[in-house]
Structure 1
Amino acid sequence: MGGILRRATILALVGLGALCSGQTTRAEMPTVAVIRADVFSGAGPEAKINADARYAAVMQALKADGIPCRETADSIMTRYGLPEVPVAIMPWSPCVSDAQLGHIRAFLNRGGRMIVFLASRNDLSADLGARTGDIAREVLAGQFHSMARVSDAIPALPRQLDFGINRAGELWPAAGGRTVYTWHTRAGSDAGMAAVVMSDRGAVIAAPPSAGDNGQLRLLLRGLIGHFAPGLWSALAPQDPALVGPVGHYRSMLEFNSALRRAEGDYLSGARSDMREALGLLSSVPDLLATGRQEEAIAASRSAKQRAWRAWWRSYPSYSPEMRGVWASDTVDGGWNDAIAKLRAANFNVVFPYMASGATAYYPSRVLPRTANCCGDRLAEAIAAGRKHGVEVHPRILGLFTMGASAELKEQLRAQGRLAKSPSGVDSSWLCPSNHQNRLQIIQTAVEMVKDYGADGVQFDYVRYSWTDRCVCENCRKRFEADTGVRVNAWPADVLSGAHKSRFLQWRRNMLTSLVRTARQKVKEANPSATFSASVFINWESHRDSFGQDWKAWIDEGLLDFVSPMTYVGDTDKFQEWVRKQEGWAGDKVPVAMGIGPFADINPRPTPQVVLDQIQAARKLGCEGFVLFNYREALAEDYLPVIGLGATSTPAEIPTRARR
């Protein structure tokens, strides 16, 4: 595919190759101060309970909108004044001291604005353009049912807010103030009392803040803060595409849209359509705010950003032929039919479930004992689902790994001399690669999968040693001496660190290569159309010694129909460095389906964006496909839909033929 691909100018690669510099150009949310009451001299025993509840209600409302806040208190304000913020909120402080009032006035004089609920001092109310009286109880049921906006002077304020309280503070406008809300009854008539009075310096509200008002407090605070600190609307409901972002690798919708307009390619038509919708949504925000429809304005702005991100995902091109696979366990979330249907919906074309280790099977095998926790026929279920949805199933054999084997089975394997051995003892997790029975079972299992079950292919995994110092069992000694003609006096020291180390490393490589060679031959004899592949470690140069996995030799000899290096690297630059090396080792002799690990044990874990970047990087560097590790509900919900919007938006054939 190095020849077909993929040298076209595409937005995703522009973003990948040169990320836009600088910070995201979005509006900053204004910070507000919230004053907690902690001075209650002479206020009565219920004062603290009420004050804490009202403070919590305001904090909850601000948090719901993501408005950052600085917490302060009466006692702190008395000593230090109010912080440098555009707006301060007093949920209810029943005992405002002269010192506090002085700090509030200083705050107002330097341009700050106050929002006060049930002001406890007339001089504080007067500073905000209001006059307050006593607490009035409702005369008729439903008298204080709702607040109705008096005029359109502040259009971002909601037209009506339903509070449904049974008492309210008496409130009138004073010098510099004006009534912006009046109380209305449940029947909708004017109750003749001001509910909110506002001036250029702040607002006084005749009702206590409550957490049980179904979001009405949040709407009121949002409208008032947005009036006094207009940057709130630029942050909550931005209408300028230059302030909405990031979008993909671009700082803003404006930058992405400019790049999209310059780019060429019919495959971008869907992305362009989404961007037109996104820009249309943004253009509706001013009118929505002007008519007091806060929620709709915010929803339109958020939908615009979501639509812009959808356009970004759709800007990734889709190619064929291409292998689009996932590794999987023997069982999957939702069952095989559901999982493969979701893979097919995203135009993935192959799944690699492990169905056997070197010691046990996850299906009723004639070759291997069945794992203790296995029921039914998982291999048959997976293949049936694959046939139904048109997705190939290539079961994996975890070649020399003993996963799934019980303690009793491992003891049998140990007694039979079939477990690998290190200088310090037996490795119960690994089979000896030179043992004839181990090799025969692995080969027979592969044949069983493609012949008896009709699997589309089989993939070898864990075809390696567990480390450099094994296997040094007595059978390996005999085989090594017979194969090389070398007489080893000090075993295993002479082969691990002595004169025969180099020959021993090569012998280990040959042992695994011969296993792969025979397995391929038998698989092709049993089912000529079945593919034979391997998932391999990332670094052939060093791992051929440390693990004996000489996968370049397997490719050079033509033993694989394709190879999947497990390049589980979170950093995309480092990922590309490895892919370049792996493509060089493959030598344009066999398709490379690059392994990418969104759920591998790496830190940081690749996000959907990083996975797409790595898919694009692999394509750009000549790979014929990719395989993701591994299938689970989070992959189906968070990754497949995003990838399927663009990068795999059209079906693809599987490229398993040799490149030459």
Structure 2
Amino acid sequence: MSKFTSFYSFWATIFAFMVAISVTSVTLAAVQSADLAIIHGHDSLPEGERRFAAALARHVVRWYREVGLTAQLENDTALDDKLQGYKVAVLVYMSQPTAAQMTALRKFTTGGGRLIVCYSASTALADLMGVQISGYRRADPPGRWATMKFVATRPNGVPDEIVQSSPNLMVAEAVKGRSSVLAWWADRQGKLNEAAWLVSGTGFWMTHVLLADGDAEAKSRLLLALAASADPTLWAKATRTLLPLARCAGTYTSPAALGEAAAKLGNPARQQRVAAAVQAAIDWEGRAGAHLAKGAGREAWEAARMVQIRMREGYGLLQTARQGEIRAVWDHSGMGLYPGDWKRTCAMLKAAGITDLMVNVGGAAFAHYDSRVLPQSKIMIEQGDQLKACLAAARPHGIRVHAWLLCYSTERATAERLEIFREKGWLLTSEAGQALPWLDPSAVDVRNYLVRAVRELSTSYKPDGIHLDFVRYPDFSSSLGSAARPRFERHMKRKVKEWPADVKWGGPERMAFIGWRAAQVEQFVAEARLTVRSQAPGKLLTAAVYGKYPSCIDAVGQDWEAWLRSSLVDYVMPMNYTENIETFRQFVTEQTRDKNQAKRIIPGIGVTAAESRLNAVQTIDQIKVLREVGCPGFALFDLSTTLQQEILPILRLGATE
């Protein structure tokens, strides 16, 4: 080796070392700039559960963001490194931590760190947290775990209760001298049963996970309060982040700007109400600053939250209603907001100005109504006919009810039902021949089965409409199974030389195959239309569809513009689920480029969708966009306590008055 080479090698090594230190420092700084860590199961979980754990953890990150804290999201690999620098860590579905992970967690708590554990089956972790696991249990009867009721002696800021319907628990109990119950589960009648939360010197333990099924404000408040009980400085940090956001609403960047807009209102009574909300926001903003100056972090945060509440109230009051529009809500549960009490649900929706309810009462694998075509669900058997009860409660209020039918999806199918579908040859298959959990749109027997369900709903119940969902393929690759080839070849009246290569991207038969797939789906829609027209004249047929057109034709065989051109449906409801107002505007602008088509498009707004979570201001802004382009209405996803508590009351102040 030459002297030059040695010299170069020496300095190259030094440079690489310095770069490594720099990168490590930047990485640690980025991580430690967060206020707390959110760790979701990976090594501590079976592979099939990891995506679910990550999804749950993302909700926790969002809830912290909404109260003003930044959370660093990580999986549980190299756990010791990921806990460094934090005082609080939330463990989301770390079911069975490894020995190395337990060592890292013990080190963290010994060093003063505190854990918020959301569901674990680990006796070692339970021992660290001072609780005792009793075992896994399913909710029997359904609704056994419907609300978390917190005890009187609890950390500052923890709400009185949180509504959440948990289907199962890892039951845990307090250990005398080491832990105590922080909250009890209550059933739908309010009777207390198992522990929901426990508290010990090392943190907090939840017997389930926090679900994104509503009551979002209470869940975010709980998470902040638990973290701040371990690190009180988090109240002030959250306030400093929340306050600048709280004083904005829509395009108005301050209470004063909102007040100027109120002065232009032609309605004196409304003007006074907005002015009162604005003045209240100004007063609360002053209190927040005063509390911060005195070091009263929790009081400052509560004041900042009141600024946000009054600004949203003022923004809601600035809006105007549009008479005659469709204001729909999807109810994915199929049981209403208050299971067993459809009258209460419908009264609430009527008071909020809602005109239409899409109630999820059936699908290929279940029926929440007294069906002779679809397999009756446990809900139908144990809690009664949901569609019948919904119709009886909605009609006195003038709310239109649409029977929501999950078409090709096998959601809620039992293993036995999937096996029946497989034996009949009704399921799609992969290229390798593996059965997939999705009905095959090209199978005539499947089409006839679904049409019979449409006929049954139309004749036996006569709802105001039938609402089709999952009326598509799941994706492109799922349509390449062995059953598709002979059906496609019969359509083409010739053989495909290379299957599936010739129908994939770049293949000579791809465009013909794309058209054939779309035709299979369209044939069912056409037969559903004929059935509704013949069996229930004047009733509506609508469909929930992918918003990105025409890419949805290639992706899932859903040519919904063709359905509109052929009048196969009365309305489509593109699921334009996004938090970005400009993205939403792009979706709607493209969908309504034809003004005649615009009159038959009811955009879906993802208030509590997997892809988006909207506050009242964001929801109003999306409604304003679709009104500008001439859509006949909107549909809100999904009926939940979040929609009931945080969105509908603000809409009712003006947008749906």
| Higher helix proportion | 2
| Residue 442 of structure 2 corresponds to residue 438 of structure 1 | no
**Whole-angstrom distance in 2 between the partners of 1:400 and 1:596:** 23
1:453 to partner: Cα distance: 0.5
RMSD: 3.4
Give 1:520's aligned residue: 529
Secondary structure in structure 2 of the residue aligned to 1:312: helix
The alignment status of 1:454 with 2:462, answered yes or no, reads: yes
What's the CA shift string for 1:46-84, capped at 9, x where partnerless?
Answer: xxxxxxxxxxxxxxxxxxxx9xxxxxxxxxxxxxxxxxx
Give the Å deviation of 1:269.
Answer: 4.1
CA contact (8 A) 2:315 2:617 kept: no
1:647 maps to 2:651: no
Give 1:311-350 correspondences, 5 Å limit.
Answer: 311-329=314-332, 330-335=334-339, 336-350=342-356
2-side partners of 1:539 and 1:326: how far apart?
Answer: 21
Please report how far the alpha carbon of residue 492 of structure 1 lies from its aligned counterpart in structure 2 after TM superposition: 2.9
CA distance in 2, matches of 1:462, 1:247: 35
Matches within 5 A, 1:205-216: none
Alignment of structure 1 residues 54-133 onto 2, 5 Å = none
CA contact (8 A) 2:312 2:650 kept: no
User: Is residue 589 of structure 2 the alignment partner of residue 588 of structure 1?
Assistant: no
Judged with a 3 Å threshold, the aligned counterparts in structure 2 of structure 1 residues 469 and 315 are, in CA distance, closer, same or farther, namely same
Measure, in 2, the Cα distance between the counterparts of 1:358 and 1:394: 17
Deviation at 1:589, TM superposition (A): 6.1
Alignment partner, residue 272 of structure 1: 272
* Aligned 8 A contact 2:355 2:399 in 1: yes
Q: Aligned equivalents of 2:572 and 2:508: distance in 1?
A: 34
Matched, 1:310 2:313: yes
Partner of 2:255: 253
Deviations 1:121-171 (A, max 9, x none): xxxxxxxxxxxxxxxxxxxxxxxxxxxxxxxxxxxxxxxxxxxxxxxxxxx
The 8 Å contact of residues 271 and 312 in structure 1, kept in 2 or not, is answered as no
C-alpha distance in structure 2 between counterparts of 1:494 and 1:424, whole Å: 17
Aligned residues: 401
Output aligned runs, 1:364-383, within 5 Å. 364-375=370-381, 376-383=384-391
Report the TM-score, using the length of structure 2 for normalisation.
0.56
Determine if contact 2:544/2:574 at 8 Å carries over to the other structure. Answer: yes
Work out which of the two has the higher radius of gyration on C-alpha atoms and give 1 or 2: 1
Aligned-partner residue type, residue 579 of structure 2: G
Q: Deviations over 1:423-478 (max 9, x none)?
A: 03334320011112210121121122122111100111101111112334454333
The 1:427/1:345 distance shift into structure 2, 3 A limit, reads farther
SS in 1 for 2:467: strand
Per-residue deviation, 1:390:
1.8
- Shift of the 279–469 alpha-carbon distance from structure 1 to 2, 3 Å rule, reads closer
**Secondary structure at 1:643 match in 2:** helix
Deviation at 1:592, TM superposition (A): 1.4
Deviation at 1:628, TM superposition (A): 0.9
Is 1:620 the counterpart of 2:619? The answer is no
Q: Which has the higher contact order (CA 8 A, sep 6+)?
A: 1
Among candidates 413, 420, 423, match of residue 421 of structure 2: 413
Cα distance change, pair 615–277 in 1 and its aligned pair in 2 (3 A): closer
Q: 1:259 to 1:384 in 2, by over 3 A?
A: same
CA distance in 2 between partners of 1:582 and 1:512 (Å): 20
Within 5 Å, give how 1:150-229 maps onto structure 2: none
Deviation at 1:279, TM superposition (A): 4.6
Cα shift at 1:490: 3.1
Q: Unaligned stretches of 5+ in structure 2?
A: 1-67, 69-235, 287-299
Distance 1:355 1:283, change over 3 A: closer
Give runs of aligned pairs for residues 466-485 of structure 1, distance below 5 A.
466-485=474-493
Q: CA deviation at 1:587?
A: 4.8
Percent of aligned positions that are identical:
30
Counterpart code for 1:368: L
CA distance in 2, matches of 1:350, 1:592: 15
Q: For the Cα contact (< 8 Å) 2:592–2:598, is it kept in 1? A: no
Q: Partner letter of residue 541 of structure 1? A: P
Out of 392, 396, 404, the position equivalent to 2:404 is 396
Is structure 2 residue 631 aligned with structure 1 residue 635?
A: no
CA gap of 1:494–1:279, structure 2 versus 1, over 3 A, is closer
Runs of 4+ with deviation above 6 angstroms: 280-286, 298-305
- Counterpart amino acid of residue 339 in structure 1: T
- Superposition TM-score, scaled by structure 1 size: 0.56
What whole-Å deviation, never above 9, does each CA across 1:191-231 have from its counterpart, x for those lacking one?
xxxxxxxxxxxxxxxxxxxxxxxxxxxxxxxxxxxxxxxxx
User: Partner of 1:351: helix, strand, or coil?
Assistant: strand
Give the gaps of 5 or more residues in structure 1: 1-65, 67-231, 237-241, 287-297, 650-660
1:565 Cα offset (Å): 0.2
Give the CA deviation at 1:556.
1.0
Contact 1:282–1:301 (Cα < 8 Å) also in 2: no
- Offset, 1:282: 7.6
Aligned to 1:197: none
Which amino acid in structure 2 is aligned with residue 415 of structure 1?
E
Q: Alpha carbons of 1:302 and 1:455: their partners in 2 closer, same or farther (altered >3 Å)?
A: closer
